[in-house]
Structure 1
């Protein structure tokens, strides 16, 4: 091929590439990458996976990378270090950072779940309605001290007239990931468990759900998308798009059945049985665990403060306005 013909061919290819890029809408050029660190992988966070599965983030021009940063302390460390852009974790972690006097506070901007996600599981099935007094004098396998599950659990026990430190043999030296296995092997007569472990134990006959800590402890900003104040100042448009995608997912979850939600999110839970997933989602949905909008309201925040105060984890009560920015959630809902 002559140099002249080669030049003409290269020019034609260049023009065609430019034309194809124009037909594509130039979406790649405007797409913003955002990295989320979630505290754990859980069906409790179903709206997050719906936002990914239904391309709600993509529709807003966001390319989201999801990582699981097992544990609230690890998730917050990753956020503060700049290894992730947004954390999905309990609001108590932002309060802990605030208590340490951070110059760059962590701001809660979009709520995902609004109740505790744990259940009280008994080794033996009782007859009739559950009597909380039956816990007294028993071995109780609880959650990690200072974490929201433990604080919400103890808050509920105190409401029921039970002193967790005096009326129970409280076991808290088991790592979060090993709690189900410890109970299955014989540790404790009662255990505080997340789903799907609670439903799996029921199916296998290893335990029986007798109460919900989510129902008993009331509404809380239990799991919230948050980021550093400095990130918000530099990326307001990105945070707004993120909140809008979350709201779309919340509305979708609210309008669809547990079966439809399970089918949407199961690609993120390849080892989870579909029937178990449906049961878990139905249980969380029926008790109102999935927030239907991203607002972190002040009443829920104050309930969180009460829970943390009861657990002895607060040096001072943090103001809602200092650690919550609802403007992005409000704009998403317009």
Structure 2
């Protein structure tokens, strides 16, 4: 496959190709608009960013606007209210919607394990000897309260996976969870010691270490750690929508999925530096080096097949369907639809 270098400048000037594949939708008389929702400005959502910046949405016949939801839960709420066509976030979001009477569908998976279950502790606490989760659980704040652990949103990806680790270790009742929103806010609360631990991505870890106010406490994204506690491939992040949105215009939804499939294959064929040059406007809250580092890790965990199999779905159930999430068990067929990604893969073979 030919490699095309998309630089920061050239990504802005890529224009649509002449033809639109049948799998990408139809030739509309007027280019339909689309609203694509992502939670926060980190590389885990890069497939949406690339689909926009490399022109794949436009080539699919869509005039798309990417909108930052502010958190995974807020992204879910935007999709639930039909103010967005397609969202990206933890796979539990469409499950939550389906559990609450808003039938939702996973359109395609993004990754094979979490890239955002990294426990970042305040550097001053790490220097005091709090270097393990067990030590954190024993420690108390000056006012006697439990350690405060921050995530982007309660019920979002960070919370779901980090809480599972603590629950498995018997430490889940030893901390207090709070949601802190977007990247700038999350980093600010750790830097100013309003929280004790922040759960987030490799880019935020790298920036916090280099700026001297954070340290790695526990890496839940590490392959060996993941294998020990999770057991193998699991679709953590996904593109999702409402069934009613699909029913309203299935060809438009096909166009979305085809563009995102092409973006995923573009990511596979390009270096972290090239990917960063393309998506820079969407991830500007952390440094270039931190983002390139994060993207490099994402390349290792991205699901380039974009297919959820029965084994990986079954493996994730112990995390998804538990008291903390409140999600009632769902069969794979009740939440995952495969027809759109199958058509996209056929139209644009990997």
Aligned to 1:196: 203
* Corresponding pairs, count: 300
Q: Which has the larger radius of gyration?
A: 1
**Corresponding residue to 1:296 among 295, 308, 321:** 308
- Quote the RMSD (CA, aligned, Å): 2.7
1:141–1:183 Cα contact (<8 Å) kept? no
1:79–1:228 Cα contact (<8 Å) kept? yes
2:164–2:319 Cα contact (<8 Å) kept? yes
Aligned to 2:11: none
Following superposition, the deviation at residue 204 of structure 1 comes to 0.7
Unaligned ranges ≥5, structure 1: 1-23
Q: 1:85-144 deviations in whole A, cap 9, x for unaligned? A: 112222212222222234xx1111122234322311233468xxx755444313352434
Following superposition, the deviation at residue 78 of structure 1 comes to 2.2
- C-alpha change, 1:236 and 1:39, in structure 2 (3 Å) is same
Aligned to 2:292: 278
Aligned to 1:173: 178
Paired residue secondary structure (2:330): coil
Spell out the pairing of 1:1-334 with structure 2 (5 A cutoff). Answer: 29=29, 31-102=31-102, 105-116=103-114, 117-124=116-123, 132-138=133-139, 139-143=147-151, 144-159=153-168, 161-165=169-173, 168=174, 170-177=175-182, 178-215=185-222, 216=226, 217=230, 219-286=233-300, 288=301, 290-314=302-326, 316-334=328-346
1:69–1:75 Cα contact (<8 Å) kept? yes
Paired residue secondary structure (1:141): strand
Deviates more, 1:225-234 or 1:300-309: 300-309
- C-alpha change, 1:237 and 1:184, in structure 2 (3 Å) is same
Following superposition, the deviation at residue 189 of structure 1 comes to 4.6
Unaligned ranges ≥5, structure 2: 1-17, 21-26, 140-146
Following superposition, the deviation at residue 253 of structure 1 comes to 0.9
Following superposition, the deviation at residue 266 of structure 1 comes to 0.9
2:150–2:195 Cα contact (<8 Å) kept? no
Q: Quick one: distance in 2 between partners of 1:311 and 1:123?
A: 29
Q: Quick one: distance in 1 between partners of 2:179 and 2:34?
A: 34
Q: Quick one: distance in 1 between partners of 2:162 and 2:243?
A: 31
Using the size of structure 2 for normalisation, the TM-score is: 0.76
Large movers: runs of 4+ above 4 Å: 24-28
